[in-house]
Amino acid sequence: MPAVLQAQVADIADGYRSTLVLNIITLCVCIFILHVHDETTWASLAWFGSAIVVIAARAYAMQALTRRGALMSAPKGSLTILSLGALALGLIWAALPWTVANFEPLGRHAPLFLMMGGMAAGSVIKQIGYTPLALNYSIPILISLMINLIGIWRLNEVLVGLCLSLMIFVFIRRSIWAENMFVSSQVARHEATALADSLTRANSDILRQNSRLEALANRDTLTGLANRMFFHGRLAGDIARATVVKEQVALLIFDVERFQSINDTLGHSAGDALLREIAARLSFIVEDGSLIARLGGDEFAVVVSGPEALERARAHAAAVLEASRRPIHWHQRQAVVGLSVGLAAYPDHADDAEELLACADMALYDAKRGDRRQLREFDPDLRRNAERKRIIEQDLERAIDTGSLGAWFQPQVDLMSRRITGFEALVRWQHPQLGFVSPPEIVNAARTVHLSEQLTARIAGDACLLARRLPALGLKDVTVALNVSPREFALYSVASMLHRVTAAHDVDPSALEVEITEEAILDPALADEQLKQLEQAGYKLAVDDFGMGHSSLAYLIGLKVDRLKIDRSFVKDVARSETNQKLISAMVSLGQSLSLEIVVEGVETPEDAAILARLGCGTAQGYLFARPMPPSALDTWIAEHQPTADLKRKAKAKHLSVA
């Protein structure tokens, strides 16, 4: 066991210096005794010098092993070296009787005999930790004495020599026993120490794990702020306390503007560094003990409780918004990162923690929907709007399937002859609970709940039903237009959907007109391929809200658009606006140069219609001619507004249908 070997080395090293010093003193005494008896010879001096050299070598070896750290790092090798040194010195001592002429161990040389025996016995007693070293030193000395005693061959010397041989046997057994005891004690000590260390480490690990678990339970690992779990507990606790002491609890929710783009362009490490900087800035600004938490992603929260909580929350929000105008520096980069803030308060806006968080979220969403970088306080209208939005999204699919949602149609007429030239299909929904639901609400809800394709397919189906009836009503070659939101081109294949619908209703694609806004045209990667497919299939194409975007003329020519619909913002009060008249005249000239029919929307007065006709506009739609109407009202309106030249065809069609 390495630990036992290290303990044996340490035991030897502990008394090594005193052992060598004792050897030197004893050597000097031996030489002095020989000198007193006038028995000093070159042999005895050589013996003394050899002993001094061996002692010096042993001292140097111990110093070298200590300096290199070999005593602990290589204890087994160190013990071998030290044992060899002990053997060398033991052999030197064993040679002493052979350097003295006529050595008499029990006579005049008894002092030398006693000193040699004492050194051997002392070695066995002192070096109980490692038997080989003690025996390497003592056995050569004792054997030398035993040989000298028995060699004299006198009774006394022989008896002492035999006793000495017995002593050698006892020394060997005693040394082995002592070493075993030493090893056993060291093993027990090591095991006890290891157990104590293990318990200490286990206790430290438990404390460290507890601290880590506590930190994980309460702290966000990225920013060091409170995490979402701790935030919920603190918010509920503050509200419970506020209920008792009749105080307010204000909640601020912060959202980082353009954070996703930073993550996408600079990487997640840059995003993490930015979040840490924002957290540091919040901690620096909010110093009144309010809880600051990271709810996840790029969303932070501040819970303000105590006296004047709402006013303090407003002050915090204003300070944070002001600070957000300054650049944030991180990783040798900088950026101005705006924040949007939503604020709600208990009990003014909510009755519990969950409702308060929902109110603050609604206020934040309203802030992000506006100009951003601003504070929005919760307004009850936000809850009503959110509930309305939820109901619309919840009931939309059923309305599409049951037909309670469908298309109404607004006629398009020739400005000169007032002949009907087409109809535009407009989505309409009269909700049983909410009443009229506006088209933007319907389109946004469909996108949210992934029903855009089903919604447009429903309107396209109603348009196909009308297109099949129009010839019987005396309106041949009259198209029905339907709007396609630009974003729909990215959600599904509009061309494939329209192909399925027209095939199911047996309607020629040329009977339908697809109205798209300019922003769809400006994104070829999004809509180009599908628009080409629509064109090749025979659908007529119209650009809706023309003039509000920046259409490429080359793209309009290449796409073979049939009609341009001038946005109603240019048409309103055109009779009194010279600027609008010039703009419309320019757009009409553009359309004529590209052989495109011009349609104007939002015509409401005869004066506007007259000006538009004079400016060269051919087709118009608006409240002056008709409001959007359900399919059931179209027959009557068409009968009343069909020009006189078409009455015979209408009567003939009616006669054939009766027959």
Distances (CA, A) of 512 to 499, 518, 540, 598: 11, 19, 6, 17
Give the per-residue SS3 of 364-391: HHHHHHCCCCCEEECCHHHHHHHHHHHH
Q: Confirm if 555 and 568 have CB atoms less than 8 A apart.
A: no
Of the candidates 441, 601, 607, 640, the residue annotated as catalytic is 601
Integer CA distances (angstroms), 606 to 389, 398, 409, 439, 655, in order: 38, 41, 21, 27, 35
Q: Which of 344, 298, 356 is nearest to 324 (CA)?
A: 298
Long-range contacts of 179-182 (CB under 8 A, 24+ apart): 179/128, 179/129, 179/130, 179/131, 181/128, 182/7, 182/8, 182/11, 182/128, 182/129, 182/130
Q: Which of 169, 135, 164 is nearest to 148 (CA)?
A: 164
- Respond yes or no: is residue 39 known to be catalytic: no
Instruction: Kindly report the three-state secondary structure assignment for every residue of 547-594.
Output: CCCCCCHHHHHHHCCCEEEECHHHHCCHHHCHHHHHHHHHHHHHHHHC
Looking at the DSSP assignment, which residues form a beta bridge with residue 601?
Answer: 621
Residue whose structure tokens are 């709402």: 310
In the chain the first and final C-alpha atoms are separated, in Å, by 116
Residue 47: C-alpha distances to residues 41, 98, 231 (Å): 10, 10, 88
Q: Is 453 strand, coil or helix?
A: helix
What residues are labeled active site?
601
